[in-house]
Amino acid sequence: QVQLVESGGGLVQAGGSLRLSCAASGRTFSRYGMGWFRQAPGEEREFVAAISWSGGTTYYADSVKGRFTVSRDNTKNTVYLQMNSLKPEDTAVYYCAVKYNSGSYYRVLDYDYWGQGTQVTVSS
C-alpha cells in the first residue's frame, strides 16, 4: 500500500503560478506511473497530467497543455505539478494518484490509490 499527501494549493490571481507536490510513502514509488486529476464542485473528477515511472513520458489534458508541467523526483518519492498562466477555470481540488497496472493514464478507474487532495482557487 502507498500513502499520498498533496501540498502546495492555495489562492492565486489569474495569470499566476502554483507548484503542487505529492509525497508518497509505503510501496516502492519509483516503479509506478503517477497522475494528477482535479475535481470542481458539481463536476466529475477529470484527468490533468500524468508521468511514467521513469519520468520519460508525460501526458496532459488539452486544457492544460503548454501551461502545466508534471515531473517527479524518485529520490524524494515526490511528484510535482507546476501550474503557470492559471485561469479561473482551473479552480478545483487537485488529487494525485498512483497506478500499479499498465492501463490508461487518462482514466480515474485505472489508478489504485489517491491522496486527500489540495484546493486550488484562481481568482479573476
* 69-97 residue pLDDT tens: 999 999 999 999 999 999 999 999 999 99
In whole angstroms, what is the distance from residue 90 CA to residue 32 CA?
26
For position 74, what pLDDT does the model report?
Answer: 93
For position 102, what pLDDT does the model report?
Answer: 84
* Nearest of 39, 41, 87, 43 to residue 63 by alpha carbon: 87
* 26-50 residue pLDDT tens: 877 788 999 999 999 999 999 999 9
**Between 123 and 27, residue with greater pLDDT:** 123
**What are the DSSP E strand ranges found in 42-123?**
46-51, 58-60, 68-73, 78-83, 92-99, 113-114, 118-123
* 94-108 residue pLDDT tens: 999 999 988 899 999
Pairing outcome for strands 118-123 and 10-13:
parallel
DSSP H or E segment with residue 23: strand 18-26
The C-alpha cell at 26 is 509505503
